Structure 1
């Protein structure tokens, strides 16, 4: 019987300890349910928090301090990865069904990388379900973002240049590169996104603002400037995962 491919999970963090602890527990359970799937957990902490470090120690995860830039955090985590499959997750992601088995199977069947379909957790109602369909359509012609659990073969990830060292839209050149490199696979089930940010800001207000940021990026506005524009909004004082620039764009 062949040994399953090993996976390094890379999680950028900034004051996300509460949701991070849940995710790390889910990942450990998923590996156990999948027959002892080899798994390396890497948390790259931009807050350099002792609480985050303790959470990682208690859950068998490698903790690494970093500067607060999502793209740089992801690159730093990838440099620490030891396994042949890299899986990038936001700290507030929620696992559903058997995502580890699904992504390992995708890579084993020839995919260079991929992403999970955008699904909200819980019961977000008709607005959330409609937004899921709209994101699904956009993914076919555009870029799936980081909260959709991007994954890649290690060699493919470094061959196409990794994440860009930007605080926002850092995954765009990576996804475009992986699509040119080989099979970029969509997995229908396995990951869920919390709807709380949309419920807090308003479903369509948040979505419109995110699309305007994406339009600015397409028109050539620097990601650093777009991140500052987002951070300048009135509710940006929250330092949790809910208010981080890289969590926008849906």
Structure 2
């Protein structure tokens, strides 16, 4: 069985559509890991046949808590504002059957604007070359490997990059052609060029070892 872990915080606008879409799939477990939402996220999630757990706010902590509560042999980590292309779960199962330790899906941004096609292409090429994945690419991993490498590091930001670095040391990592569609809300709110430039600067800051807490403050301003 595959367990899909969705970390949420104040996602009342997205949670219903996200869960109804996932639950069209068979033989999956959906775990909503709430970080003390102050809106109706949990109330709305309770309308669906999902497991709801609670943890301290923080994406890494919430995803780790969800993984501990999961019954599946395979884990997928999916943001509430993302949805999977039809057939994506079967493709992930196929990757595990082929011996992959984990991986991610190809990212698509849910908007028709041409600029987003360039952002998608650059991100997917980067992922295929580096085997470093971002959280909005629907990272997946075998449960045993997830716990062997200690799950997601409890850091303010870039827990996804740190996890990818650890996972690819344990086995082959796949970047599948099936897509996960990410919301364009971050770019639409802050402007496509400005937001993309800030994300590039944040990533550069990570590799230059700037304090993650300071980078997180900048990230929150454009999220």
Contact 1:24 1:59 survives alignment (8 Å): yes
Residues in 2 aligned to 1:192 and 1:71: alpha-carbon distance in whole angstroms: 21
Q: Indicate which of 181, 192, 206 corresponds to 2:181.
A: 192
* Alpha carbons 2:131, 2:168 under 8 Å: kept: no
TM-align CA RMSD: 1.6
Q: CA deviation at 1:122?
A: 3.6
CA contact (8 A) 2:103 2:133 kept: no
Shift of 1:108: 1.1
User: How far apart are the structure 2 equivalents of 1:52 and 1:145?
Assistant: 24
Q: Which segments of 5 or more consecutive residues in structure 1 lack a partner in the other structure?
A: 1-5, 237-242, 244-250
Answer 1 or 2: which has greater strand percent: 2
Structure 2 unaligned regions, length at least 5? none
The answer to whether the Cα contact below 8 Å between 1:120 and 1:128 also exists between their aligned partners in 2 is yes
1:167/1:223 contact within 8 Å kept: yes
CA–CA distance in 2 between the matches of 1:194 and 1:165?
A: 25
Q: Does residue 40 of the first structure (1) align with residue 29 of the second (2)?
A: yes
Give the conservation status (yes or no) of the 8 Å contact 1:98–1:190. Answer: no
Aligned residues: 222
Query: Closer, same or farther in 2 for the Cα pair 1:50/1:62, shift >3 Å?
Result: farther
Q: Could you tell me which of 7, 22, 33 is aligned with 1:12?
A: 7
SS at match of 1:118: strand
- 1:116 equivalent in structure 2: 105
Does structure 1 conserve the Cα–Cα contact (< 8 Å) formed by 2:7 and 2:62?
A: yes
Matched-pair contact (CA < 8 Å) for 1:48–1:65: no
The answer for the alignment partner of 1:247 in structure 2 is none
Q: Where do 1:1-250 residues align within 5 Å?
A: 6-29=1-24, 31=25, 36=26, 38-49=27-38, 51-123=40-112, 125-139=113-127, 140-141=129-130, 143-231=132-220, 233=221, 243=223
TM-score (norm 1): 0.84
For the Cα contact (< 8 Å) 1:23–1:95, is it kept in 2? no
Query: Quick one: distance in 2 between partners of 1:229 and 1:197?
Result: 13
Q: Which moved more, 1:143-152 or 1:189-198?
A: 189-198
Matches of 1:44 and 1:163, distance apart in 2: 14
- Assess if the C-alpha contact under 8 Å between 2:107 and 2:182 holds in 1: yes
